[in-house]
A and B are shown apart, each in its own frame.
Chain A
Amino acid sequence: MIRLVAITAVVGGLALLVTAVTSLSTSDAPAQPVGAVTEVATHRTVSALQDKLRRTPSDADAWAALGSAYVEQARVTGDPSYYGKAQGALDTSLRHRPEGNGFATIGLGALANARHDFAAARDHATRAQALLPDTAEVYGVLADALTQLGMAAEATAAVQRMLDLEPGVPSFTRAAYDLEQRGDVAGARAALERASDAAAASPDVVFCRYRLGELAFDHGDLDEALSQYSQGLAVDPRDVMLLQGKAKVEFARGSVDEALRMYSELVQRTPLPQLVHEYANMLRAAGRDPAPQFAVLERQFALAPDDLAASVAAADRGDAASALRLAEAEWGRRQHVLVADALAWALHLNGRHEEALSFADRAVSAGWHNAAFLYHRGVILAALGRDAEAAGVVEEALRINPHFSFVDAPRAREVLGGLR
């Protein structure tokens, strides 16, 4: 018996020795964290709130903050599943505090804006304003809704209030859009530069760079546009919108094949309706078949209706009746200048030039230096036989941005030639 024990001891000792030696030899290696080897793109943005709510699930304020954070996540990641989560979180917050829950109300407003339900967003913001009159986010939600509903003056006031409460990225970027729509390009640029200086989080930096690039592109400054897009891509080399900007510059500079290649990659990666639509137009401009892209686009609008975008797409593929029907439907909901422009164009395509002109006038009334608006208005004027005016307007459009549209910019030059 004792012998057995002794043998066991020897064997065990040897085994232990081997273990010790191996552990000694491996401990020289750089300490690798145990277990943590999964590479997960963590969403730390919201994880602090998630953790907190797992501990204290009845915290109405934390639920509201989480809901708003999810709306931001959706914006940043483009992942619409966050909308559902945002709704759930905000509903939960309101369940825990049904009355006087200003932060949840702000969140609901932001969510409604994100879902393009601007009237509801305005209502939420108004209710939140009563509860939290000194909170900047209230006016951000309000400004977004009012802008899209076409209430420009009220929107400006809301942005001003937001600026005076909290000058920062959210208010500066909204100020830039407000100024741009009123034709103050220098002001818009200054506002975006201030936003860009204040931006800390990389999605915010990327957003500011893209907007600065767009502002430059929309006013014909390809070099500046490319520089801005590139600075954004230095922060996030795979950002879809910045790459879209670069592709537009490529096209404008005549690298049609490269631009098409970039777009085809982009629509494969993220088939956003906007990108698919632009790709279809680029294919048209290059003399290639856009039909498959338009087919995809049509199904997308069937899955997620967007009457404004659908109207413009219908007009681009030659379906004038649908374009008009959709534009009128959108106009019934909101009277933003972009809707006025789409309605004007759709009316024109249906031969109703007089009516078209009144909406085209409305589109440019605020002073937005938007080349597409001017081109549409010029063509409508020409259809009404007011050639001299038309030539001036189209010329102005091309002066603002000679590359304002893959398809329409060359056409504008033709129209201009014909008018002279």
Chain B
Amino acid sequence: MRVLGLLLLGLLLFPAQAEAHPLGNFTVNHYHGITVHPDRVTVRAVVDTAEIPTLQERPAEVGDYASRECAVLSRATSVEVDGRAVPVEVRSSAVEFPPGDGGLPTTRLTCVVEAWASGETVAVRAGYRDDRVGWREMTAVGDGVALLDPPVPGVSVTGELREYPDDLLSDPLDVRSVVLRVGAGSSAAVVGGEVGGSSPPGGSSLPGGSSLPGGSSLPGGSSLLGAATQAFTSLAGDRDLTPLVGVLAVVLSLVLGASHAALPGHGKTVIAAYLAGRAGTPRDALVVGATVTLTHTAGVLALGLLISATSAVAGDSVLRWLGVVSGVLVTAVGVTLLRASVRRPVLVGHGHGHGHGHAHGHGVGRTGLIGMGVAGGLVPSPSALVVLLGAVALGRTWFGVVLVLGYGLGMAATLTAVGLLLVRLRDRLAAVERLRDRFTALPVITAALVVVVGVGLAVRAAWGW
């Protein structure tokens, strides 16, 4: 009974899934799934031929139908890279005959064709049986390269011509050609995809869908934050930039930076531990925050501009290296601390007198603090980078810079706040007092902790975890 109810509910929720061939039984429907690789363009073409043309053609009676037709298709498919026509070769071909209406078979031809070339623009035009009535769909993704603002989605809305959507307010798709702009390496989408880890290794399907750079796969702790991040990136890429949108984008960038810094794995533990252990003052907290902002903004800008300038550098590998550098830096700070704590135990022992300890710790502390800040801000957060690149791609570099600055400020605010909070708490609470005592009593542990975190960061970055 319950099952029946669910079934009925299902029917209500998904009324009248469109018939097999929405455009009727004499249509020939086309799907072209384009994947742009660094060295070639692959097109996965599916041709869904309805009952009547199948009947006319009788492909089942032709032995080499798939290979023959895919050869025709490959000749009819034009791929131009940077305006230069590239020969299209068949890589694989297959055909099946799913049953259709009236006991008649239909034809489903699948051809994978490829063209070996690389460049900045890739134009694909589908010419196979282009005079037939039918659905014409194209998707495009980059694999190892980025597609800048691709005009077609990354995922087929029909599941490669298996289910046709039934929307009263849209027309049948009729996409016959597409021009893709390839930003080698500067792929916001790839950066987002790779860093977000949602792209399968070597996978061909970047989460596209959105026409905006990196639209759908940005790292974000919660889905809410993810949505906000997406809104942020789309704001920077918004074509109609009104003052309101601009202000909104800046505010959002502040909020996002702040929340980004609140996410785990941002060296806050290190900073917190450091501040707590180093008898830090509010001023120290501010120094750390300012350094983070500066480093982060400079890092993102430098990386973003570098990427824009030298399209040969792959964005994700740079990020990875920076991650490693950051980890190493943190480790170095830890090692310095360790050395200091081992060499000068007396200094730490003084810890009870605030002014005294503070005064003593200052020399080493300032450098250490800045080092911390650099470490915290050195790894440019992917979303900020995406925003910058998106803005650059849209010819709005300055707006992107402002947003990145805002992002860094937001981050700094959080980190400073955390630092201030710790400083305050430590002064007020007995529990924290004891904690501090333990830390101050065991400076080696503090330093070791920093080292561990640093190594962890480096390893994580190196392994792309």
Which A residues lie within 8 Å of B395 (CB)?
A: 23, 34
Take A38-B178, A269-B131 as given contacts and tell me if A296 and B394 are in contact as well, using a CB distance cutoff of 8 Å. Answer: no
Q: Are A300 and B52 in contact (CB under 8 A)?
A: yes
For A66, the chain B residues whose CB sits under 8 A away are 168-169
Assess whether A35 is in contact with B151, with CB atoms less than 8 Å apart. Answer: yes
Interface residues of A in 31-82 (CB under 8 A from B): 34-41, 43, 46-47, 50, 53-54, 66, 73, 77-81
- Chain A window 259-277, contacts with chain B (Cβ cutoff 8 Å), 1 for yes, 0 for no: 0000000011111100000
A12: interface (CB < 8 Å): yes
Chain B: minimal CB distance from A78 (Å):
6
Are A39 and B178 in touch, CB under 8 angstroms? yes
A36 to B306, CA, bound (A): 27
Query: Which among B151, B172, B306, B397 is the interface contact of A81 at CB below 8 angstroms?
Result: B172
- Asked if B101 contacts A267 (CB within 8 A), the reply is no
> Which residue of chain B has its CB nearest to the CB of A9?
B298
Asked if A40 contacts B168 (CB within 8 A), the reply is: no
Q: Which of B131, B151, B177, B180 contacts A36 (CB 8 A)?
A: B151
The minimal Cβ–Cβ distance linking B220 to chain A, given in whole angstroms, is 25
User: Judging by beta carbons under 8 Å apart, are B26 and A19 in contact?
Assistant: no
A235 adjacent to chain B (CB < 8 Å): no
Chain A at the B interface: SS class:
helix
Contacts known (A40-B174, A84-B22, A299-B55); A79 close to B168, Cβ less than 8 A: no
Chain B positions within 8 Å of A, measured between CB atoms, are 18, 22-26, 51-53, 55-56, 101-102, 104, 125, 131-133, 138, 149, 151-152, 166, 168-181, 211, 239, 298, 301-302, 305-306, 308-310, 367, 370, 392, 394-395, 397
Is B309 in contact with A38, judged by CB distance below 8 angstroms? no
Contact B175 A296 (CB under 8 A): no
B51 with A19: CB separation less than 8 A: no
Q: Pick the residue among A38, A53, A84, A296 that contacts B52 (CB under 8 A).
A: A296
CB distance from A209 to the nearest CB of B (A): 20
Q: How far is the CA of A270 from the CA of B170 in the complex (A)?
A: 23
Checking B152, B170, B298, B305 against A38 with a beta-carbon cut-off of 8 angstroms, the contacting residue is: B152
Give every chain A residue within 8 A of B102 (Cβ-Cβ): 299, 302-303
Q: Say whether B133 contacts A35, CB under 8 Å.
A: no
Given A19-B392, A40-B173, A79-B133, 20 more A-B residue pairs with CB atoms under 8 Å apart are A1-B367, A5-B298, A34-B394, A34-B395, A35-B211, A37-B181, A38-B151, A38-B152, A38-B175, A38-B177, A39-B125, A39-B177, A43-B174, A46-B171, A47-B171, A268-B56, A295-B55, A299-B55, A300-B25, A302-B102
Question: In the bound complex, do residue A81 and residue B175 qualify as a contact, i.e. CB atoms below 8 Å apart?
Answer: no
Contacts of A296 in B (CB 8 A): 52, 55-56
Known: A8-B302, A12-B302, A299-B104. A270 touches B26 (CB 8 A): yes
A54 / chain B contacts, CB cutoff of 8 Å: 169
Minimum C-beta distance from A66 to chain B (A): 8
A15 within 8 Å of B (CB atoms): yes
Which residues on the A side are within 8 Å of B178 (C-beta)?
Answer: 37-39
Whether A16 and B53, one on each chain, are in contact in the complex, defined by CB atoms closer than 8 angstroms, is no
Task: Judge whether A39 and B169 touch: CB under 8 Å.
Answer: no
B residues within 8 A CB of A23? 395
Q: Cβ of B308 and Cβ of A15 under 8 Å apart?
A: yes
Q: When chains A and B are docked, how far (Å) is the Cα of A216 from the Cα of B104? A: 40
Query: Closest CB of chain B to A269's CB: distance in Å?
Result: 5
Q: Report 30 cross-chain contacts, Cβ distance below 8 Å, ordered by A residue.
A: A1-B370, A5-B298, A8-B302, A11-B302, A15-B309, A16-B309, A18-B309, A19-B308, A19-B392, A22-B309, A35-B211, A37-B181, A38-B152, A40-B174, A40-B175, A41-B174, A43-B174, A47-B171, A77-B133, A78-B133, A79-B133, A79-B172, A80-B23, A81-B172, A89-B168, A267-B56, A268-B56, A271-B53, A303-B52, A304-B25
Number of interface residues of A (CB under 8 A): 53
Contacts of A167 in B (CB 8 A): none
Say yes or no for A290: interface residue by CB 8 A criterion. Answer: no
Q: Is A113 an interface residue (CB 8 A)?
A: no
Chain A residues with CB under 8 Å of chain B are 1, 5, 8, 11-12, 14-16, 18-19, 22-23, 34-41, 43, 46-47, 50, 53-54, 66, 73, 77-81, 84-85, 88-89, 92, 238, 267-272, 292, 295-296, 299-300, 302-304
Specify which of B53, B175, B394 is in contact with A39 (CB 8 Å cutoff). B175
A47 to chain B, nearest CB (A): 8
**Cross-interface CB contact of A85 among B168, B173, B211, cutoff 8 Å:** B168
Let me know if B309 and A19 touch, CB within 8 A: yes
Which partner residue on chain A sits nearest B174 by CB separation? A41
The residues of A that contact B181 with a CB separation of less than 8 Å are 37
Set A15, A39, A79: member contacting B302, Cβ < 8 A? A15
Most chain A beta-carbon neighbours within 10 Å: one of B24, B395, B397: B24
CB distance from B172 to the nearest CB of A (A): 6
Q: Which 3 A-B pairs have the closest CB atoms?
A: A37-B179, A18-B309, A15-B305
Do residues A269 and B132 form an inter-chain contact, with CB atoms below 8 A?
Answer: yes
Instruction: Specify which of A18, A46, A272, A302 is in contact with B310 (CB 8 Å cutoff).
Output: A18
Whether B308 lies near A79 (C-beta < 8 A) is no
Whose C-beta in chain B lies nearest to the C-beta of A23? B395
Knowing A267-B56, A271-B26, A303-B51, the reply to whether A35 touches B305 (Cβ < 8 A) is no
Contacts of B169 in A (CB 8 A): 50, 53-54, 66
Residue in chain B with minimal CB distance to A50 = B169
| A15 to B132 alpha-carbon distance, docked (Å) | 50
- Chain B positions within 8 Å of A34 at CB level: 149, 239, 394-395
Q: Let me know if B151 and A79 touch, CB within 8 A.
A: no
- Residues in A with CB closer than 8 Å to B171 are 43, 46-47, 50, 73
Contact of B298 among A12, A53, A267, A271 (CB under 8 A): A12
For A303, list chain B residues within 8 Å (CB).
25, 51-52, 101-102, 104
A367 to chain B, nearest CB (A): 36
Shortest Cβ gap from B163 to chain A (Å)? 14
For A268, give the chain B residue with the smallest CB separation: B56
- Chain B residues with Cβ under 8 A from A73's Cβ? 171
The smallest C-beta distance from B54 to any residue of chain A, in angstroms, reads 10
* Closest partner residue, chain A, to B121 (CB atom): A37
Chain A: CB-nearest residue to B123: A37
CB contacts (< 8 Å) of A270 on chain B: these are 26, 132-133
* Chain A residues with CB under 8 A of B125: 39
Q: Is the CB of B172 within 8 A of A271?
A: no
Residue of B175, B306, B394 near A15 (CB, 8 A) is B306
Chain A residue numbers with a CB within 8 Å of B179 are 37-38
Shortest CB distance A378–B (Å): 35
Closest CB of chain A to B285's CB: distance in Å? 19
User: Contact at A238–B131, with CB atoms within 8 Å?
Assistant: yes
A35 to B169, CA, bound (A): 23
* B314 CB → nearest A CB, Å: 16
Collect the chain B residues with CB atoms within 8 Å of residue A271's CB.
26, 52-53, 56
Name the A residues within 8 Å of B298 (CB-CB): 5, 8, 12
User: CA separation between A15 and B302, bound complex, in Å?
Assistant: 8
Find chain A residues with CB under 8 A from B397 CB.
19
Contacts of B151 in A (CB 8 A): 35-38
Rounded to whole angstroms, the CA-CA distance of A269 and B129 in the bound complex is 8
Contact of A299 among B51, B173, B211 (CB under 8 A): B51
Contacts of B18 in A (CB 8 A): 81, 84
A5 to B297, CA, bound (A): 12
